[in-house]
Amino acid sequence: MAALASTFFSSTPKASRSFAANSIPKFPLTKSLSQLNRTNFIAPIVASALRDKFVRSDSDSELESRSGLKKIVDSLFVLCASVALSASLFVADVDSAAAFVASPRKLQSDELATVRLFQENTPSVVYITNLASRQDAFTLDVLEVPQGSGSGFVWDTKGHIVTNFHVIRGASDLKVTLADQSTYDAKVVGFDQDKDVAVLSIDAPKDKLRPLPIGVSADLLVGQKVFAIGNPFGLDHTLTTGVISGLRREISSAATGRPIQDVIQTDAAINPGNSGGPLLDSSGSLIGINTAIYSPSGASSGVGFSIPVDTVSGIVDQLVKFGKVTRPILGIKFAPDQSVEQLGVSGVLVLDAPANGPAGKAGLQSTKRDAYGRLVLGDIITSVNGTKVSNGSDLYRILDQCKVGDNVIVEVLRGDKLEKIPVLLEPKPDES
């Protein structure tokens, strides 16, 4: 190529060389993309004009030189066209890439629904800090030390916050942080240890309180989508999704060990600190309180459990109105289920029936020792109101369906005989 260019400039008159040098367009590296686009259009035209100009300016006597010149101009024309095409492709790539980055993110309809559900219900979820008083061993100063944390949610515009009892257990001071990071002192309105539910109260403006819509848990189905929102460790809100993987499960209360029936089982991850947070259905309605997770590995994965909202609603209503839950009792202490199984019978063995309790007043007999120190078994409860009782969980389940003041027929095995004894149910002594 260099040899051809040398031949061209040696055979071309000085005036022609000057014209050629001034007519070939230059392409500075600093030109903008828009200038390159215009160059793409102009370059082929200029190259064509140059070719025609040189061909017309040659004389008939320079036919041989003209033939060589025509080849060189053709080469220049091809070179200009190639540069123009490359620049055009480069600009097209840049434009398409810019359009891809600048275009808004497109989400599927189910993704949009999940995003909308999270954004609408996040303001209702709060963060709860449990502070306990501790005395310094050296200075004897009383300090408030954080001993736990969890989540909760706004129940109404009066400032009532619902959470788990184990989140606030043993607290001397409670703090509630709303979604806008404003923090308020909280007072305990009441709690139900047996069902692991507690109600707090904060003095916050109504415009900051966003109650969750209350749903129904009686008609839930295995397989339907659920969403768990929490505020673990005071971090920003988190969302985990899953499905209902089981219904009518039973777990034990973390405080009293009393069974909680009809619990919702879900595969939605319940992270540490999510206890007390809401479990929502696809419409954003409350269907349960996230309470526990069974994880063999100890990680935040496994089977999650939520207290159904139908159970929670009745408890919260009583706590808000009376500050307590009036749940009926038989007034007995019974033996562990394993002890009764070793005896080869099915039922609940009465260890103690205080005389001032419902069972004692009705005449149920306690387990005791005779004058020779031999163990004399008390009554073994086999059914209540005709419903079979095989263990303590069965007895609790039946009592949960009763009310204070109800008369129930308790069937007991006394020695080798079955007897039916009417018992008037009463509330716990500290709830009267």
Interval 216-237: pLDDT, tens: 998 999 999 999 998 766 567 8
Catalytic residue among 149, 151, 160, 166: 166
Interval 319-371: pLDDT, tens: 998 888 888 889 999 988 888 888 888 899 999 999 999 999 999 999 998 88
Terminal Cα-to-Cα distance of the chain (whole angstroms): 109
- Based on the residue annotation, tell me whether 166 is a catalytic residue of this protein: yes
What is the distance between the alpha carbons of residues 205 and 191, in angstroms, rounded to a whole number? 24
pLDDT confidence bin for 215, thresholds 50/70/90: very high
- Based on the residue annotation, tell me whether 275 is a catalytic residue of this protein: yes
Alpha helices in 158-206 (DSSP H): 165-168
CB distance 36 to 92 below 8 Å = no
The overall longest dimension of the chain from CA atoms, in Å, is 149
User: How many of the other CB atoms lie within 10 Å of CB of 380?
Assistant: 23
DSSP 383: E
What is the distance between the alpha carbons of residues 425 and 315, in angstroms, rounded to a whole number? 19
| CA-wise closest residue to 330 among 417, 398, 254 | 398
| CA-wise closest residue to 146 among 127, 162, 126 | 127
Amino acid in the structure at residue 396:
Y
Catalytic residue among 192, 194, 196, 281: 196
Amino acid in the structure at residue 12:
T
- Based on the residue annotation, tell me whether 285 is a catalytic residue of this protein: no
Catalytic residue among 151, 275, 366, 383: 275
State residue 199 phi and psi, 5-degree precision. -125, 130
Interval 58-107: pLDDT, tens: 444 444 555 566 666 666 666 666 666 565 555 555 444 444 444 456 88
Coil, strand, or helix at residue 358?
Answer: helix
